[in-house]
Amino acid sequence: MIDGYTRTCGLIGNPVEHTLSPMIHNTLAALLSHNLVYVPFHVEKDNIFSALKGAYALNLLGLNVTVPYKSQIMEGLVSVDELAEKIGAVNTLVRTEGGYKGYNTDMPGLYRAMRGEGIEIEGQEVVILGAGGAARAAAFMCALQNASAVYLLNRSYDKALAVAKEVKEKTGKEYIYPMSLSQYEKLPDRKFLAIQATSVGLYPDTERAVIEEEAFYRKIHTGYDLIYKPSETCFMKLVRKQGGEAYHGLKMLLYQGIIAYELWNNISVPEKMAVQVYEILKKKMGVMDER
């Protein structure tokens, strides 16, 4: 029951109307018997810093930040976590003295999700498709978790080059290689872990993949698509057709949310509870088994 002691958290972005985050956080609050509610806030771009000040004035415990504000909002924060500073984007704000501190839970959320599927990063050679914000977070994750090589494939070579240069500079890892999508044939002749970090294949445009040639998928032993709707993307189908294992991004969404909830409440969510929330999300999304 909402009363005078209820704490409020929320999501700011544009758009936010179809977000699943309230389901994650309100379910966690119910399971943990926390007097907390989570709501989405649609914020126009000219109002982002006003919204931030208003949230603090209204005593909001914490916020998530989604597109297109993950980098811009950093200017209005009192401090930024070291990892988020490296990545250059925040998605979680934690209330502190005088303002909010920014964190990035996308990267650790992706790592926790992949580890939960038994996917190792250390020592792996990884292909990342894309060079946007999600691909950047994935590239940082791979570098910081000691992948042996990371190949960034993007339509724009210059954008892939810029991300590769940034990751190298901020992590000290030299094995980040930018390539254009059409250069995939120049990948070494072995099998890779592939992370699909573009919006190609996202509902409702579900019948496309950023690369569709079968020759590329013969190089992939495991494919991880950050998209979770549909639950089997064209990318995943192409990986499976060539005998690889494929996963969608619903667990990443879950774990980035769980890590945010842990930061706001200074707790650790039991894995058993994470599984409960995941089953609720799967039912909502009509998701089939991942493998």
From 143, 119, 249, select the one nearest 192 (Cα to Cα).
119
70 is catalytic: yes
CB 189, CB 176: distance < 8 Å: no
Q: How many CA atoms lie within 13 A of 55 on its CB side?
A: 31
**Structure-block tokens of residue 161:** 């080059």
CA–CA dist 57, 9 (Å, integer): 13
CA–CA dist 183, 180 (Å, integer): 5
CA–CA dist 104, 192 (Å, integer): 26
SS3 283: helix
CA–CA dist 193, 272 (Å, integer): 28
DSSP 245: E
Going by C-beta distance under 8 Å and a sequence separation of 6 or more, which residues neighbour residue 168?
Answer: 174, 176
SS3 42: strand
CA–CA dist 245, 192 (Å, integer): 11
**Structure-block tokens of residue 116:** 């939960």
Among the options 45, 70, 86, 219, which is catalytic? Answer: 70
200 phi and psi, to 5 degrees?
-70, 125
Active site positions, annotated: 70
